[in-house]
Structure 1
């Protein structure tokens, strides 16, 4: 980097994954999808190039260059335009803290890189290795460091587990318990449950299958995250739930079940409403989602039916290795009140569905908590933070929300409910920049209102089983990255109740939206918080005072945030896709882990984003991955598995309806 050239910092979050990018570059800087159309005069110069991989971005979209004593951005006759602080511009001078929007990318500009402190890397709240609860004061990390589970720092697994292939004789010589199964599900969450459910429907017996995890209910972490983010059992989920984790056939759906229940109660209007929402959504009706308690109760019923209690094994998986007989050895530990136990499981077929390893946490808020030790005023929406609403309902106060996705919309609704008990509650919603237009793809464009981008689910509905699913499956890795950038982004459901609350709050003045880039967060004298921001509108600096700050920016699914996956990837030099996730085939197999003895390893969930399916962490996405994996297993003649034909599928569905086990133990 030439020290004689003017340098600026650009900061943006990847629209497909939400991960932070923050390079420091010398001007001029070219921004675009590729740069074949860049003039020869520029190609001869030393021009920094930022590749924005989206179909909404032109090949050579914009150029940031020095103009006299200032810095300007010039649009290069792009198709979709260049926006500066929400206004379309052909050429505009830039000041510190401005936001450039190019397609789905929102890029903050920092000209005074000396005063902008050295950036703090990814900040996360990890799940405790023994309790599976988020413990921010014990497991948060800064500067992108990867945590190591406490159990992994002991003398287990033994040294021979560092080999590429572990000898079965060495395993037996440890005198630890070694259990052998045909099928092993790692994680024991919803992804594991759906895979095991399908295995049982296809003929696998109880003694052939094991699921290793920290909690016996497969939905335990999901339920806890829902409740922490203010979706109690009686509330409806806010994202994809058309499919049913407890019912691989999808019929009767949750909507049909709820409609039938209402019909039996004589509530004909409600019964018809639920069916209309399903058949008409999302064009003519508000999106249907079930009550979370109904989902968990249905999963409990199916878990009992398939024998989940016998399949589940409590333990934390520390490492996975290939064995010299073509299978896989799983080293795991389990803690009791008095000691820690270690054991091995050996299986020919593995399924990895470890879920989200951490909660994203904004670096400036993490820095505040580490400096002050205050874990009550500044919280994450996915942490338990009921004390915030109790204090507000009792004393009133001001809340500052960061983030504008599905979780943020639920927090807004929860604040509205708290105001019914105490009207002296106000809400500040801090967004990095205005949202002048929604993402485009082809002729379609998302609606934007009050700077929220509306979409019923986290991906367009065609990603689940329609045209977009087929397009993504046939695309090459580079095309997939581009498509996911166009289809992704921070969105929230187009729900009438929530929109009405926002409009009412704006009209009455208790809800306000502010824009700016946060410089730092400090504690005031009354145990509240002060957020120092670089404003967008007046290009100055201001302060936002609040009693509480709630970070609603999401979850972290990077492979390097999960010690187990990082160990597997590092040890076997597995490829990582463009989004930093596991590289899987169209049947969700980790092909590079295939063993000589027909062993197979499959994956599902957020760790596979960037592969053949977009909505990988949704109910239907987990079902799709399970179907693809089991179909592959059947084709390899895995033990006892037979893919159901029309008659056997109907038979199994009838057994589900009558709550009978899928086959004999």
Structure 2
């Protein structure tokens, strides 16, 4: 009888979506894109198969197996090779904690016989409070608001939405019978953020009257949540966003761009050098100049101007949207709650056409850090980069200390810059950057490859340039769902822009010794008293092989692993998807057509669209960028609604578009 096979936990972040994957598989394990020619058993054991969907991965790329020397990984004459701990190998002994690179996949290997003491690694979430829209770490799971009494029934306990919303098609008369307010419009934007704003902006430019548009959201400024997340992640108004400048949410024509406006402002002040520097950046990037990105304050000021121009205040409705259903007359019924200082009441909105742009449902939070918070109730030492945590930098600037960053990418690079700035006030600050695995080389696609330096992956823009509006965008639109998954894995997710000042800070920190990068899978995080009497966090990671643990102390831990856009994390979207059995991608995002329509939700009189991070895996890559939101709006309004002659929309030609642009320049209503 053969002994029970060894089991391994293989952990990686999906290169296309950033989602954490952690299957536990029995040895032998075959890794590859396809396994048509491979036997089902080897040495008397069934072969586990791990499919890695990328053109950089060979059909049968590598095999993890046991031999007389222990656990080994064997490259199967793959086209691009197998890297073990950053070194290309054809055959190598594999130890606990080692890392493999196969194409764009960076996989950590953990012996399942020695599981970590904390909950499985994978990401938990910090959800936004349903009333305040602020990150609330004490909300453990997404849930609809509890049933509340209806104003039409004083002292009653009627649940909202009413029982009529259990039907596939709601009878509009039944909504009027509740005694609650019922309004009707042609267009409803659900979310009220930047995605809603660019859709509404385009509708107004295309001739729709503000009286026929409703934007439902939690905050009157369409950029409110985005601004708050920027500020929390240490991007103040004067600092430059860590995103590109290919589009302007306030200007669908894109001219003048942010760089041109900033240059014009500096020219008026007599700063010729800086003005022409911005223009040179845009003209020469990325080959001869570093990437231009706009200042946060300039972006928000420009959106304020456009919001006032199109009458956003008249269209916006404070609303916590609870549910959306089709109606029997071919429209959509939206049930929402309206909260004031003293009471909460409810209302309905009937719309012909609906756009969903609810943004990110939650902030990703590492489960070992979640476990630490639950055990210690310490919300000061362990924070997420997207939570308000200025107290960390205030403490460091006054007393010094050690900070640990978890995760890497755009947000982590900004935290590094903030620590660098704090050291100008107090040099007794050190930074420990804990990454799950090394990153010896960047994603490749064809002849192109992203640069890697100090385990940061760089890209002149967050995605390859051609995904925004070039040949790669067209390739993704034409691809089948499985091909799209493969392309997104090869292109990789968002990265830090290739800016010399950001790279210099990292190099300087490593050279001077105050910045250290280390790798490992976390077993647990605890709180231990320091010799000075001050309690510090202690992170235990498994040393490679079976030698033991590494103990890392820090005054603060900052989680920079990102945001969560999965449908199940959003009660509204989850309710809609469950009720109408809408298809989802493997990454948990909603499936849309090339014009961003939810085809299964089409009604005789109207259509439903989606935009933003919830659509990743569909026809567009950079879905949560400014340009991605505008592109989704263009596809929905121009290619779909205007083509269907939706009410109030008038197609623009060259002259009418130029006329609308002149109104934009003069700050006149569309």
Q: TM-score range by the shorter chain?
A: over 0.9
Q: Structure 1: which 4+ aligned runs deviate by more than 3 Å?
A: 39-45, 112-115, 151-154, 535-540
C-alpha separation in 2, matches of 1:64 and 1:220 = 49
2:144 counterpart of 1:149? yes
- Structure 1 window deviating more from structure 2 (599-608 vs 524-533): it is 524-533
In the alignment, does 2:471 pair up with 1:443? Answer: no
**1:558 is aligned to 2:527:** no
Q: 1:572/1:152 Cα in 2 relative to 1: closer, same or farther (>3 Å)?
A: farther
Alpha carbons 1:95, 1:539 under 8 Å: kept:
no
Corresponding position of 2:91: 91
Contact kept in structure 2, 1:75 and 1:82, CA below 8 Å: yes
Whole-angstrom distance in 2 between the partners of 1:444 and 1:488 = 12
- Cα distance in 2 for partners of 1:225, 1:350 equals 26
For 1:436 and 1:635, how far apart are their aligned partners in 2? 49
Question: Counterpart of 2:307?
Answer: 303
> Hey, what does 1:329 align to over in structure 2?
333
C-alpha separation in 2, matches of 1:3 and 1:121: 30
Note the 1:193-342 alignment, pairs <5 A.
193-342=197-346
Deviation at 1:40, TM superposition (A): 7.8
Is the CA contact 1:189–1:353 (under 8 Å) kept in the aligned structure 2?
yes
SS at match of 2:126: strand
Deviation at 1:120, TM superposition (A): 5.4
Aligned residue for 1:211, secondary structure, equals strand
Residue 601 of structure 1 corresponds to: 608
Whole-Å separation in 2 of the counterparts to 1:438 and 1:193: 35
* Structure 2 residue 500 is the aligned partner of structure 1 residue 496: yes
Q: Using the alignment, how far apart are the partners of 1:386 and 1:281 within structure 2? A: 33
Partner of 1:144: none
Q: In the alignment, which residue of structure 2 is the partner of 1:352?
A: 356
Deviations 1:222-271 (A, max 9, x none): 00000000000000001123210000000000000001111111111111
The alpha-carbon deviation at position 208 of structure 1 amounts to 0.4
Question: What is the CA–CA distance in structure 1 between the aligned matches of 2:547 and 2:396, rounded to whole Å?
Answer: 33
Residue 172 (1) aligns with residue 176 (2): yes
Deviation at 1:413, TM superposition (A): 0.5
> Where in structure 2 are the equivalents of 1:363-374 lying within 5 Å?
363-374=367-378
Q: Contact conserved, 2:95 with 2:544, CA < 8 A, in 1?
A: no
**Root-mean-square deviation (CA), in Å?**
1.7
**Match of 1:77, SS?**
coil
Segment of structure 1 superposing worse, 633-642 or 190-199: 633-642
Question: 1:73-88 maps to which residues of 2 (within 5 A)?
Answer: 73-88=73-88
Matches within 5 A, 1:436-585: 436-489=440-493, 491-525=495-529, 526-536=534-544, 540-585=548-593
Contact 1:96 / 1:112 at 8 angstroms: preserved in 2?
no
Q: How does 1:372-411 map to 2 (within 5 A)?
A: 372-411=376-415
User: In structure 1, what is the Cα distance between the partners aligned to 2:545 and 2:70?
Assistant: 19
1:123 aligns with 2:124: yes
Alpha-carbon deviations, 1:379-411, whole Å to 9, x = none? Answer: 000000000000000000000011110111110
| 1:153 shift after superposition | 7.8
Whole-Å Cα distance in 1 between the matches of residues 546 and 272 of structure 2?
54
Q: 1:39 to 1:153 in 2, by over 3 A?
A: farther
- 8 Å contact from structure 2 (residues 122, 366) kept in 1: no
1:630 aligns with 2:625: no
Q: In the alignment, what sits opposite 2:156?
A: none
Q: Residue 139 of structure 1 aligns to a residue in which SS?
A: coil
- Of stretches 481-490 and 180-189 in structure 1, the one that deviates more from structure 2 is 481-490
The answer to whether the Cα contact below 8 Å between 1:9 and 1:113 also exists between their aligned partners in 2 is: no
1:579 is displaced (CA, Å) by 2.3
Tell me if 1:651 matches 2:655: no
Deviation at 1:151, TM superposition (A): 4.4
- Would the aligned equivalents of 1:244 and 1:254 in 2 still touch at CA under 8 Å? yes
Structure 2 vs 1, CA of residues 324 and 274 (structure 1 numbering), >3 Å: closer, same or farther?
A: same
Q: For 1:546 and 1:95, how far apart are their aligned partners in 2?
A: 27
Q: Please give the secondary structure, in 2, of the residue aligned with 1:376.
A: coil
8 Å Cα contact 2:96-2:546 kept in structure 1? no
SS at 1:34's partner residue? Answer: coil
From 167, 174, 187, the equivalent of 1:163 is 167
Deviation at 1:368, TM superposition (A): 0.7
Partner of 1:48: 48
Gaps of 5+ in 1: 142-146
Q: Aligned to 2:627, which of 609, 620, 630?
A: 620
Deviation at 1:272, TM superposition (A): 1.0
The CA distance in 2 between the partners of 1:109 and 1:515, in whole Å, is 13
Q: CA deviation at 1:490?
A: 5.7
- Rounded Cα–Cα distance in structure 2 between residues aligned with 1:489 and 1:599: 34
Q: What stretches of structure 2 of length at least 5 have no aligned partner?
A: 150-158
Q: TM-score, normalised by structure 1?
A: 0.96
